[in-house]
Amino acid sequence: MNHACKKFAAGPFTLVGFTLLILAGLSNSGCSEYNKIMKSTDLDYKYERALGFLDSNKCYGALPILEEVVSLSRGTEQSIDAQYHFAEAHRCVGDNYLARYYFKSFAKTFPNDPRAEQAQFESAMCSYRLSPKPSLDQMETEQAIEEFQLFMDRYPASAYRDSCQSMVDGLRRKLEIKSFESAHLYYHTGKYKSAVIAFENAMKEYPDTPFREKMQWLIVDSYFKYALLSTDRRKLERYNDTIEAFLTFVARFPESQYMELAQAVHEKSIYAIDNLTANQTIE
Is position 115 within any domain?
Answer: no
pLDDT of residue 114: 96
DSSP labels, 129-170: HH---TTS--HHHHHHHHHHHHHHHH-TT-TTHHHHHHHHHH
Name the H helices within 189-231. Answer: 192-205, 212-228
User: Which residue range forms the structural domain that includes residue 274?
Assistant: 190-283
Is position 185 within any domain?
Answer: no
CATH number of the domain residue 220 falls in:
1.25.40.10
pLDDT of residue 280: 65
What is the C-alpha separation between 144 and 122, in angstroms, rounded?
11
Considering its fold, how many domains does the chain have in total?
2
pLDDT of residue 214: 98
Q: Global pTM?
A: 0.79
- Is residue 171 classed as helix, strand or coil in its secondary structure? helix
From the list 200, 204, 183, the residue with the least C-alpha distance to 134 is 183
pLDDT of residue 173: 95
Which of 73, 94, 115 finishes a domain?
Answer: 94
Which of 79, 94, 109 finishes a domain?
Answer: 94
Q: Helices 259-282 and 212-228 sit at what angle, rounded to 10 degrees? A: 30
Contacts of 177 (CB under 8 A, 6+ apart): 134, 211
From the list 10, 8, 33, 12, the residue with the least C-alpha distance to 21 is 8
Which of 37, 65, 94 finishes a domain?
Answer: 94
Contacts of 77 (CB under 8 A, 6+ apart): none
User: Consecutive sets of 10 residues in the chain, 283 residues long: mean pLDDT of each?
Assistant: 43 46 46 87 94 93 94 92 97 97 97 97 98 95 98 97 97 96 97 98 94 98 96 92 98 97 97 86 53
* CA 184 to chain CA centroid, nearest Å: 21
Is position 89 within any domain?
Answer: yes
What is the C-alpha separation between 24 and 181, in angstroms, rounded?
51
Contact predicate 65/103, CB 8 Å: no
pLDDT of residue 22: 41
Q: Helices 212-228 and 161-188 sit at what angle, rounded to 10 degrees? A: 20
Is position 133 within any domain?
Answer: no
Contact predicate 261/224, CB 8 Å: no
Q: How many other C-beta atoms are found inside a 10 Å radius of the C-beta of residue 200?
A: 15
Is position 15 within any domain?
Answer: yes
